[in-house]
């Protein structure tokens, strides 16, 4: 699950209008954070954005897949609440920032509701 520095640099440049977006390398990928809240996940130079009940349909309507991985101790794949960002939003940083802002709001709602601690 490598993440290239070039991809991270490009993504951070596109997300500059949101504010001080940061990344942190973790588990072979990278988390994407704004104001200390993780709203994105980068794996293999693919951006996944946080989804909850309020924005999940945006991803599902476009047929976008959630991030999944396999664990050695579990036969079925583990699905996270992060969905692949639509390819076309990378053509317009404004669109990407809208999707990222919705993901950040979803992450904040999830953290406030305690669902992230299950």
C-alpha 95/C-alpha 72 separation (Å) is 38
Domains in the chain with CATH codes: 5-112 (3.30.1460.30)
pLDDT for 1: 55
pLDDT for 73: 87
pLDDT for 117: 39
The pLDDT profile of the chain, 118 residues, written as one tens digit per residue, is 579 999 999 999 999 999 999 999 988 899 999 999 999 999 999 999 999 999 999 999 999 999 998 888 888 888 899 999 999 999 998 999 999 999 999 999 998 765 443 3
Residue 63 buriedness (CB in 10 A; 0-12 / 13-18 / 19+): exposed
């Amino acid at each position: 699950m490598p993440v290239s520095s070039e991809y991270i640099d490009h993504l951070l440049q596109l997300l500059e209008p949101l504010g001080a977006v940061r990344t942190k390398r973790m588990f072979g990928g990278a988390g994407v954070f704004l104001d200390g809240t993780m709203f994105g996940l980068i794996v293999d130079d693919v951006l996944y954005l946080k989804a909850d009940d309020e924005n999940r349909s945006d991803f599902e309507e476009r047929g976008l897949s959630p991030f999944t991985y396999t664990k050695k101790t579990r036969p079925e794949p583990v699905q996270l609440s992060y969905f692949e960002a639509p390819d076309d939003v990378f053509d317009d940083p404004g669109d990407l920032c809208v999707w990222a802002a919705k993901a950040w709001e979803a992450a904040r709602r999830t953290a406030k509701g305690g669902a992230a601690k299950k």
